């Protein structure tokens, strides 16, 4: 099997490669600095100092006080925690499954929408949950008028990529592995307006709200990733714009395709629909040529379900089926973006011919 080329990986919204500088900061905490952050000896002090440095770095990128940052295992946990605390909630129809599924189980309401524009809840709710950047299309969503409800934002596809504004936001979920940090670590931001019930009871860690021995290497990595992102945000954004433009220029050779973009869209995510083909087949064709992207349809236990987010936008079944997501990252190059788009153009033409 030939080696995988990181520059050909265009699925950065699913997860991103670990930044080498982040990995270097994490390594001592797997080794000599293995202490439990809550121990009273030198090993414990060193681990706790590193956790608090990381908390300050995450807080700095979020634009909040370090005391408002509670470490979790990732955005799925943070999102579930928020909804379990506030089941009297209304959520947008565009949310990630880690909001959408618990919201369904808890009987939360779903906000109405006209395209990407969200309607205000019809009756008062305790909490409104609206992600900032949609993970499938990159659309930047705006919170509707909420009449005194708490506001939760899933910032998973925003942190480290676009400027985060926490004005008017009470709760926010973030995850390290989308910004070149490690998997299995994230955080919940909770403003001092919010009284949270503990997620896990036990040893009293994380202000007694989320018990369990801290994942010190992961937390250190999250902090390091935030510090790198703060330094590179403008440069990364410019790079993503250039990659996106490169792909769009090459795709312009094809007929019958469209973008699922919003007027306000993250440059990091490009959702495109090709009529007459299946997104999954295109993903497999690109994979056979060494490129990674992802399909727009939710595939579970072998069956392809109509995509919930694209259906909420009013996309036809045909268009939804032929959707792929290309998500850009630091390690991609203009040459690899050109290569990916050329592979897509060839594969779409081939698949359409086969279909006739
Ligand atoms: N929310 C959004 C918008 C996401 O894109 C993801 C990851 N796909 C998550 C939540 C879940 O994050 P995690 O992997 O940290 O659980």
pLDDT digits (tens, 9 = 90+) for 292-326: 999 965 544 455 567 899 999 989 999 999 999 99
* Residue-averaged pLDDT of the chain: 95
pLDDT(223) > 80: yes
Please report the pLDDT score of residue 354 as a whole number.
85
pLDDT at 244 over 70: yes
Q: What percent of the chain has pLDDT over 70?
A: 97
List the residue whose alpha carbon is closest to atom 7 of ligand 1.
Answer: 14
Residue pLDDT, tens place only, 172-214:
999 999 999 999 999 999 999 999 999 999 999 999 999 999 9
* Residue bearing the CA closest to ligand 1, atom 16: 76
Of the given ranges (104-113, 120-129, 134-143, 309-318), which has the lowest mean pLDDT? Answer: 309-318
DSSP state of 91: E
User: 164-192 b/e with 16+ CB inside 10 Å = b?
Assistant: bebeebbbbbbbbbbbbbbbbbbbbbbbe
Residue nearest atom 4 of ligand 1, based on CA coordinates? 156
Straight-line distance from the first to the last Cα atom of the chain, in angstroms, rounded to the nearest whole number: 33
pLDDT band at 146 (very low <50, low <70, confident <90, very high): confident
Model confidence over 109-124: pLDDT tens digits? 999 999 999 999 989 9
Q: What are phi and psi of 281, to 5 degrees?
A: -65, -40
- pTM for this model (two decimals): 0.96
Percentages of the chain per state (helix, strand, coil), in multiples of 5: 40, 15, 40
108 catalytic per annotation: no
* 40 HSE (CA, 13 A, CB side): 0
Q: Rounded to an integer, what distance in angstroms lies between the CA atom of residue 81 and that of residue 135?
A: 20
pLDDT given for residue 306 in this prediction: 73
Average pLDDT over residues 30-37: 98
Say what the pLDDT of residue 297 is. 52
Residue 107's pLDDT is 97
The pick from 91, 137, 178 for probing ligand 1's pocket by mutation, whose C-beta has the most ligand atoms within 8 angstroms, reads 178
Q: Whose CA is nearest to atom 12 of ligand 1?
A: 75
Query: Which of 178, 180, 182, 144 has its CA nearest to residue 158?
Result: 178
Q: State mean pLDDT over 218-227.
A: 98
Lowest pLDDT segment from 7-16, 82-91, 242-251, 305-314:
305-314
Ligand 1: residues within 6 Å at CB? 74-76, 96, 98, 131, 135, 154, 156-157, 175, 186
Alpha-carbon span 130 to 95, nearest angstrom? 7
In tens, the pLDDT along 41-60 reads: 999 999 999 999 999 999 99
Q: What is the pLDDT of residue 356?
A: 64
The bridge status of strand 150-154 relative to strand 127-129 is parallel
Give the per-residue pLDDT at 299. 47
Could you tell me if 14 and 296 are in contact, meaning their C-beta atoms sit under 8 angstroms apart?
Answer: no
DSSP per residue, 193-204? T--PPPSB-SS-
CA of 76 to the centre of ligand 1 (A): 6
Q: Which residues contact 47 (CB under 8 A, 6 or more apart)?
A: 29, 33, 34, 35, 36, 37, 39, 214, 216
Q: What is the pLDDT of residue 149?
A: 96
In this predicted structure, the answer to whether residue 242 has a pLDDT above a threshold of 50 is yes
Residue of 92, 154, 175, 309 with the most ligand 1 atoms within 8 Å of its CB, for mutation: 175
* Angle between the N-to-C axes of helices 279-288 and 334-355, in degrees from 0 to 180, rounded to the nearest 10: 130
Tell me how crowded residue 205 is: count the other CB atoms within 10 A of its CB.
Answer: 19
Provide the H-helix boundaries in 166-304: 216-251, 279-288
């Amino acid at each position: 099997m030939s080696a995988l080329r990181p520059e050909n990986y265009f699925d950065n919204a699913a997860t991103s490669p670990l930044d080498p500088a982040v990995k270097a900061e994490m390594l001592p905490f797997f080794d000599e600095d293995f202490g439990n952050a809550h121990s009273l000896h030198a090993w414990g002090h060193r681990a706790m100092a590193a956790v608090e440095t990381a908390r300050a770095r995450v807080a700095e990128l979020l634009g909040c006080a370090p005391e408002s940052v509670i470490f979790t295992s990732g955005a799925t946990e943070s999102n579930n925690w928020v909804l379990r605390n506030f089941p009297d909630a209304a959520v947008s129809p565009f949310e990630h499954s880690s909001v959408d599924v618990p919201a369904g189980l808890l009987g939360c309401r779903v906000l109405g929408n006209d395209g990407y524009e969200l309607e205000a809840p019809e009756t008062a709710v305790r909490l409104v949950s609206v992600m900032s950047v949609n993970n499938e299309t990159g659309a930047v969503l705006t919170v509707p008028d909420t009449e005194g409800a708490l506001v939760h934002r899933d910032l998973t596809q925003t942190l480290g990529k676009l400027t985060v504004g926490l004005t008017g936001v009470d709760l926010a979920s973030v995850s390290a592995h989308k910004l070149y940090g490690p998997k299995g670590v994230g955080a919940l931001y909770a403003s001092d307006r919010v009284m949270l019930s503990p997620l896990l009871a036990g040893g009293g860690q994380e202000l007694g709200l989320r018990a369990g021995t801290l994942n010190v290497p992961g937390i250190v990595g999250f902090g390091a990733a935030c510090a790198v992102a703060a330094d590179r945000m403008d440069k990364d954004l410019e790079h993503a714009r250039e990659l996106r433009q490169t792909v769009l220029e090459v795709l312009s050779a094809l007929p019958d395709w469209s973008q699922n973009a919003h007027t306000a869209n993250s440059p990091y995510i490009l959702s495109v629909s090709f009529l007459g083909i299946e997104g999954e087949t295109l993903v497999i064709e690109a994979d056979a040529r060494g490129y990674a992207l992802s399909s727009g349809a939710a595939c579970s236990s072998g069956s392809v379900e109509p995509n919930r987010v694209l259906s909420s936008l009013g996309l036809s079944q045909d268009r939804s089926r032929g959707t792929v997501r290309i998500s850009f990252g630091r390690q991609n190059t203009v040459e690899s973006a050109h290569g990916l788009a050329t592979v897509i153009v060839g594969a779409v033409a081939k698949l359409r011919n086969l279909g006739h």
